[in-house]
Amino acid sequence: MNTHSYERYQELGGFLSHTRYERLLERAERDISKSEPYTSHIAMIAWISGIELDCSHDSPDERIVLYKLLRIDSYVELEAQNNPGGWSDQRVFAEVLLVVADVDSFKKLSQAHPHISFANS
């Protein structure tokens, strides 16, 4: 059972539909696969942005699991809909931060990457 709010996600400018948002969170709760390639990659983005992640192998940070799912599965179709050039890894991570309503980390990511547009309009 997640404690996230789609309404809050939308207030923050989230892009996913309500159905996709709920499916993403449900899948993240069930995901038990290893995320090592994604952990090291997203850890670097987080480090550059001044964001702390729990990268322990026992229970990976929820943001890493959500990033992995958003990056590798059918949500990639969002790239074609929103930006023909695709979403950068930072853009995908930004969406994850909105899903979990981590506003402070979203601000840090935005400030660390001023050349990337994180707006959903």
**What digits encode the pLDDT tens for the residues 16-29?**
889 989 988 998 88
pLDDT band at 1 (very low <50, low <70, confident <90, very high): very low
CA atoms within 13 A on the CB side of 20: 18
Residue 121: per-residue pLDDT: 39
Identify residue 77 by its one-letter amino acid code. E
Task: Record the pTM.
Answer: 0.79
Q: Assess whether pLDDT exceeds 60 at residue 31.
A: yes
At 37, the pLDDT band (50, 70, 90 cuts) reads confident
Tell me the average pLDDT of the chain. Answer: 81
